[in-house]
Structure 1
Amino acid sequence: MSIALMAKRKGSPCQKEDHFEGTKRVKSSVPDLPQEIWHDIHSLLPLRDAARAGCVSHAFLDSWRWHPTLTLNPKTLGLSGQNFINKVDQIMKKHSGIGIGIKSFKLHHYGSRIHASKLNNWLRIAVTPEIHELKLSLPTVGKAQLYNFPCPLLFAGSAGNRIRDLQLANCAFHPVAGLGCLTRLYLSNVHITGDELRCLLSNSFVLEELSLNHCSEIMRLKIPCLLHRFTNLTVFDCRALEIIENEAPNLCTVLIDTDIVHKSIGYSLQVKHLEMFCAVEFNLVHHVRAKLPASMPNLETLSISSAGEMFSTPSVPGKFLLLKHLDICLEVAIGAFSPDYDYFSLAFFLDACPILENFNLDVIQTRMRHDSIFEDSSQLRQMVGHRHDNIKTVKITGFCSAKSMVELTCHIVENATSLECLTLDTIAENGLSDDVRLSMHEIGECPPICRHMIGEAQRALLAMERYIVGKVPSTVKLNIKKPCSWCHAR
């Protein structure tokens, strides 16, 4: 029955007339709907709007208490510290015993610790048979003070049969079984052993995504073959991890760091998207070019971040026959990136990608110690017979006057017959997007760049003008990005 029809039959309760001191006044009222309908309406509102509605109308107050989605963090509540804890405690008590289960519970808190008994009470209320999403992020504390997540709430009751998304941060988690509906598992700074994780994975048959960040007790990660839906794996800063044994047949996307990148991750023939970065291990680009074509032949996108290359990129058999997008980042926090590394050797990498369309090269350093093209009068090297007929866009960030980088750029310009856009950026600002950097420039807050690199940027511009610009075909859009004239002034 529509609201309008109900209003008509009941004499339009939304427009009842009242007399006040000889004048007519329209008296506003909410439609006389069954309580269950108001509960459904308020369940569709964001948590903050539902709470506001409960503040302005007594008729809505009870509906707010039935809201099935709780997102509790300092931003949504506008509180912090002990005031935040007290408010969450009030909210959870109002949801206790109301008869309708919470479907999504997200608690993010930083700062003061929450007593374990209080957290346990909140989770007893939140973890109901209807819950399908549980996210818990607590303040970072020492190992001895970590909150021990009450696993019996998940594995001894019926709630574990409904949870699809489980995300835990800064706690201890010791599962004893699997979760039948779990599709996404995210653990950050969670104390869990490899055996405990294997037990959970082996019995969570519909799992699709696994993300492990700073989980320092896992030495061996085993992903069982029964996980046919498993497609996404992220491993970041798990320092004790020595080996990954993937047996899941449909793993598609991998994001991985630490020295594990130099070892096999098990069955990986179906991997299409790979991101590898390592802050402590050198020669990652060399390793990827030499080893990965055989183990990951179906790669379509590849992103590599290396802290140093002691050897130039090799010319070896094996190709990335399906690779279309290649990102390479050569980054050092302080100092120069491996001055013996030959940027021109990256042409061998491009040659191994016959259908490559997009190539991005970022060089992030605070000094440039390669041989400058202005200090070497020999002829520019060429690589005859190496054509890149499908490359359409190329972007080099942190372009410098190194002779080998100028040679690489000239090689691309002369041999990428389908090139549409070439971007040469003289300043590398740690991965900031063009939009973010432009907005920062407009308010005069450019990230600090050392004087040495500002001077190198000027030499890079001169190298572009002298050796590259004249070779760029008129059909190619050339973007040259200079240091900001006033907030990067020398």
Structure 2
Amino acid sequence: MPLRDAAYSACVSPAFLRSWRCHPHLNFTRKTLCLVDQILKNHSGIGVKTLNLGIPDSCKVDTCRLNRWLQIAIAPGIQEVTICFPENCKIKCSFPCTLLFGGCGNSIRHLRLTDCAFRPPVGFDFLRSLTKLHLYEVCITGDELGNLFSHCFALEQVQLLACGELISLKIPLWLEQLSLLRVFECNMLQVIEINAPNLHTLKFFGNPVHLALGESSQVKNLDFKLSGNSSPVSYAISKLPSTMPTLETLESVNTPMVADKFLNLKCLQIYLSGDDEAFSPAYDYLSLVSFMDASPALETFILSVDQNYMKHDSVFGNASHMRQILGHKHDRLREVQIDGFCTAKSMVELTCHILDNATSLESLALDTIFDSTGGDVRRCSVEKKSECTAIPRDMILEAHKALRAVNRYIVGRVPPEVKLNVWEPCSWCHAIDVQSP
């Protein structure tokens, strides 16, 4: 029964009221927020498993009233707490840590806080069952996070988004269950120090930071992107080989010349976007061979190019001097995918280089359209679905030219044991009259 209907029924039915007093899931939406006082007045606080409270900006809720709600709902036995405080407050509301005392906090497994201040004190000895911590636009310092981590031995995931007071983040050795750390747009952050022995995945987006991994670190998967005009690859090639010797998957980097080795890197995904000032629209895709050379264990290579920003020398205008890089073998490379394949001469050269030197290659996928929204814009006419995402005419035109480049320069070089997949523009939504170059 929806929360609103259950609350109304409790008001008119004594029998239902008795059951309502132990209703386990309190999920307050915009529609039911006006009933919070009424709902919690009739609830005993016993048996609550889930609290989901989102307070819209238009709702005027004073601190005393909010604390009264939380005091009723956050009771022993609660497992999931999600609270979104009003975003437009001049001073962020503080989450009352005292509510976690007396056993109320030790049953919580998932804690998600948005737009508030969270100040775990020294000696914080609660949240012992916490497995997932999500903080979004939360005021918390590195020391306060350390106070929180000091007893959260069960933590498996930590996600920190836009936490503006965070300068230093230290993940201690005793967080043995922690496997995922996600840090996005914590713009004051300068240092990330990781000692958790079983952390496998690190997702980072923000300003350059000093990244230090302990000797026991087992980070294998890195999704790494720098904000502003910083170059992720300049950082990646100078820092990551020494700081992440166990790295197996690297995503979201932006360019070349690698001075060291990624000895354990198995999956490399590179995203090139023109909204990043570090990426030149006239980029030399063939230079990515240096990344392959530095990754002797590489098995999967994915290149995604945002076609909105492409400016390049077309292979049709200058195909007489196709460059080759000799003496480079990529013995373990099995799968290659290029999203946003275009007529850039250097991209055709890169593809030919892979076909000539990846001796274990099993599949090559070339998609002539790259969808920056993450959807699939390719073939609604084939799958009988709704219309494809709208794409500028010049991108569609380039995609059709890219198909001819594949037929002219790529198809004849594909070994018989390699499966070639070429994804065309949607013949229904992306049809266009194209003249031969």
TM-score when scaled to structure 2? Answer: 0.86
The answer (yes or no) to whether the contact 1:336–1:366 under 8 Å persists in 2 is no
The answer to whether the aligner puts 1:158 opposite 2:99 as a matched pair is no
**Paired residues for 1:448-467 under 5 Å:** 448-467=390-409
Choose the corresponding residue for 2:173, options 219, 222, 225.
225
CA distance in 1, matches of 2:297, 2:373: 26
Q: Which moved more, 1:165-174 or 1:444-453?
A: 444-453
The answer to whether the aligner puts 1:69 opposite 2:25 as a matched pair is yes
Indicate the residue corresponding to 2:435 in structure 1: none
CA distance in 2, matches of 1:162, 1:52: 26
Choose the corresponding residue for 2:94, options 148, 160, 168.
148
The answer to whether the aligner puts 1:120 opposite 2:67 as a matched pair is yes
Say which SS state the counterpart of residue 310 (structure 2) adopts. Answer: coil
CA distance in 2, matches of 1:326, 1:431: 21
Larger Rg belongs to: 1
Indicate the residue corresponding to 1:417 in structure 2: 359
**Paired residues for 1:167-246 under 5 Å:** 167-176=112-121, 177-179=124-126, 180-246=128-194
Say which SS state the counterpart of residue 270 (structure 1) adopts. Answer: coil
Could you list the per-position Cα deviations for residues 403-451 of structure 1 after superposition, in whole angstroms to 9, with x for gaps in the alignment? Answer: 11101111112222333322111111115243x7655995654333233
Say which SS state the counterpart of residue 265 (structure 1) adopts. Answer: strand
Deviation, 1:235, is 0.7
Choose the corresponding residue for 2:327, options 368, 385, 404.
385
When residues 429 and 204 of structure 1 are mapped into structure 2, their CA distance, relative to the original with a 3 A threshold, is same
The answer to whether the aligner puts 1:101 opposite 2:47 as a matched pair is yes
The answer to whether the aligner puts 1:348 opposite 2:290 as a matched pair is yes
Letter of the aligned partner of 1:148 in structure 2?
A: S
Deviation, 1:173, is 1.5
Say which SS state the counterpart of residue 464 (structure 1) adopts. Answer: helix
Deviation, 1:485, is 3.4
Indicate the residue corresponding to 2:33 in structure 1: 85
Choose the corresponding residue for 2:259, options 316, 328, 337.
316
- Unpaired runs of 5+ residues, structure 2, are 433-437
Deviation, 1:136, is 1.0
Say which SS state the counterpart of residue 212 (structure 2) adopts. Answer: coil
The answer (yes or no) to whether the contact 2:297–2:332 under 8 Å persists in 1 is yes
CA distance in 2, matches of 1:345, 1:197: 42
Paired residues, what number? Answer: 425
> Identity over aligned residues, as a percent?
47
CA distance in 2, matches of 1:395, 1:260: 28
The answer to whether the aligner puts 1:397 opposite 2:342 as a matched pair is no
TM-score when scaled to structure 1? Answer: 0.78
CA distance in 2, matches of 1:59, 1:243: 57
When residues 209 and 330 of structure 1 are mapped into structure 2, their CA distance, relative to the original with a 3 A threshold, is same
Letter of the aligned partner of 2:257 in structure 1?
A: P
Letter of the aligned partner of 1:138 in structure 2?
A: F
Letter of the aligned partner of 1:103 in structure 2?
A: K
Say which SS state the counterpart of residue 429 (structure 1) adopts. Answer: coil
When residues 266 and 354 of structure 1 are mapped into structure 2, their CA distance, relative to the original with a 3 A threshold, is closer
CA RMSD of aligned residues (A): 3.1
Say which SS state the counterpart of residue 241 (structure 2) adopts. Answer: helix
Choose the corresponding residue for 1:485, options 405, 409, 427.
427
Choose the corresponding residue for 1:327, options 244, 264, 269.
269
Could you list the per-position Cα deviations for residues 381-416 of structure 1 after superposition, in whole angstroms to 9, with x for gaps in the alignment? Answer: 222332223333221111111111101111112222
Say which SS state the counterpart of residue 446 (structure 1) adopts. Answer: coil
Higher relative contact order (CA 8 A, sep 6+): 2
CA distance in 1, matches of 2:17, 2:363: 58
The answer to whether the aligner puts 1:296 opposite 2:238 as a matched pair is no
When residues 150 and 466 of structure 1 are mapped into structure 2, their CA distance, relative to the original with a 3 A threshold, is same
Say which SS state the counterpart of residue 105 (structure 2) adopts. Answer: helix
